Structure 1
Amino acid sequence: MSFDVTAIRDQFPILKREIDGKPLVYLDNAATTQKPQCVIDALVEYYTTSNSNVHRGAHRLADEATRCFEAARDTVKEFINAPKREEVIWTTGTTESINIVAHGLETLLSPGDEIIATGMDHHANLVTWQQACKASGAVLKTVPVTDDGELDQVAYEALLNEKTKFVAFPQVSNALGTINPVKAMTKKAKEFGALVLVDGAQGAAHGWADVQEIGCDFYVFSGHKLYGPMGIGVLWGRESVLEDWPVWRTGGEMISTVTLQESTWNVLPYRFEAGTPNVADAIALGEAIRWFSSLDHDSVVAHEKALLDHATKLAKEFDGLTIVGNAKEKIGVLSFVLDQGHPADIGFLLDRQGIAVRTGDHCAQPLMARFNVPGTARASFAIYNTLEEVDALFVALKKVRSMLA
Structure 2
Amino acid sequence: MAISDLRQQFPILSRTVKGKPLVYFDNAATSQKPQVVIDALTHYYTHYNANIHRGIHTLAEEATMAYEATRHTAQEFINAASEEEIIFTRGTTEGINLVANTWGRQNIMPGDEIIISGMEHHSNIVPWQILCEEKAAVLKVIPVNDNGELLMDAYKALLSNKTKLVSVVHVSNSLGTVNPIKEVIEAAHQVNAKVLIDGAQSAVHLDIDVQEMDCDFFAFSGHKVYGPTGVGVLYGKKDLLQTMPVFQGGGEMIKEVTFQKTTYNDLPYKYEAGTPNIADTIALKAALDFIKETGKSNIRAHEEELLTYATAQLQAIPGLTIIGNAKEKVSLVSFIIKNIHPQDVGVLLDNQGIAVRTGHHCTQPLMARFGIPGTIRASFALYNQKEEVDALITGLHKTIKMLS
Which residue of the partner structure matches residue 177 of structure 1? 176
Equivalent residue of 1:206, what SS? coil
What letter is aligned with 2:342?
P
Is this contact kept in 2: 1:106–1:133, CA < 8 A? no
- TM-superposition CA deviations, 1:266-300 (whole Å, max 9, x none): 00000000000111101100110001111133221
> 5 Å matches for 1:72-221?
72-104=70-102, 105-221=104-220
Which residue of the partner structure matches residue 362 of structure 1? 361
Question: How far apart, CA to CA, are the structure 2 residues paired with 1:101 and 1:135?
Answer: 15
What letter is aligned with 2:81?
P
Question: How far apart, CA to CA, are the structure 1 residues paired with 2:110 and 2:370?
Answer: 33
Which residue of the partner structure matches residue 19 of structure 2? 21
Is this contact kept in 1: 2:37–2:227, CA < 8 A? yes
CA shift at 1:210, angstroms? 1.2
Which residue of the partner structure matches residue 287 of structure 2? 288
- TM-superposition CA deviations, 1:287-319 (whole Å, max 9, x none): 100011111332211110010001110111111
Is this contact kept in 1: 2:106–2:244, CA < 8 A? no
Which residue of the partner structure matches residue 229 of structure 1? 228
> 5 Å matches for 1:26-37?
26-37=24-35
Equivalent residue of 1:220, what SS? strand
Q: How many residues align?
A: 403
What letter is aligned with 1:367?
L
Question: How far apart, CA to CA, are the structure 2 residues paired with 1:298 and 1:83?
Answer: 23
Shift >6 Å, 4+ stretches: none
Equivalent residue of 1:229, what SS? coil
Which residue of the partner structure matches residue 251 of structure 2? 252
**Larger CA deviation: 295-304 vs 341-350:** 295-304
> 5 Å matches for 1:234-313?
234-313=233-312
Which residue of the partner structure matches residue 351 of structure 1? 350
Which residue of the partner structure matches residue 6 of structure 1? 4
Is this contact kept in 2: 1:119–1:143, CA < 8 A? yes
Question: How far apart, CA to CA, are the structure 2 residues paired with 1:340 and 1:397?
Answer: 14
CA shift at 1:338, angstroms? 0.5
- TM-superposition CA deviations, 1:84-138 (whole Å, max 9, x none): 0011000000000000000020232111111000110000001111111111111
Question: Is the counterpart of residue 52 in structure 1 residue 50 in structure 2?
Answer: yes
Question: How far apart, CA to CA, are the structure 1 residues paired with 2:69 and 2:277?
Answer: 14
Question: How far apart, CA to CA, are the structure 1 residues paired with 2:170 and 2:212?
Answer: 13
Question: How far apart, CA to CA, are the structure 2 residues paired with 1:209 and 1:399?
Answer: 40
Percent same amino acid among aligned pairs? 56
Equivalent residue of 1:115, what SS? strand
Question: Is the counterpart of residue 325 in structure 1 residue 324 in structure 2?
Answer: yes
Question: How far apart, CA to CA, are the structure 2 residues paired with 1:227 and 1:12?
Answer: 10
What letter is aligned with 2:395?
A
CA shift at 1:248, angstroms? 1.2
Equivalent residue of 2:84, what SS? helix
Which residue of the partner structure matches residue 393 of structure 1? 392
Question: How far apart, CA to CA, are the structure 2 residues paired with 1:106 and 1:403?
Answer: 53
What letter is aligned with 1:321?
L
What's the TM-score, normalizing by structure 2?
0.99
Question: How far apart, CA to CA, are the structure 2 residues paired with 1:82 and 1:133?
Answer: 30
Is this contact kept in 2: 1:359–1:378, CA < 8 A? yes
CA shift at 1:261, angstroms? 1.8
CA shift at 1:207, angstroms? 3.7
What letter is aligned with 1:391?
D
Question: How far apart, CA to CA, are the structure 2 residues paired with 1:245 and 1:44?
Answer: 36
Question: How far apart, CA to CA, are the structure 1 residues paired with 2:206 and 2:251?
Answer: 34
What letter is aligned with 2:68?
E
**Larger CA deviation: 336-345 vs 354-363:** 336-345
Which residue of the partner structure matches residue 384 of structure 1? 383
Question: How far apart, CA to CA, are the structure 1 residues paired with 2:158 and 2:263?
Answer: 39
CA shift at 1:26, angstroms? 0.1
- TM-superposition CA deviations, 1:132-155 (whole Å, max 9, x none): 111111111010010000011110
Equivalent residue of 1:264, what SS? strand
Equivalent residue of 2:204, what SS? helix
Equivalent residue of 1:243, what SS? helix
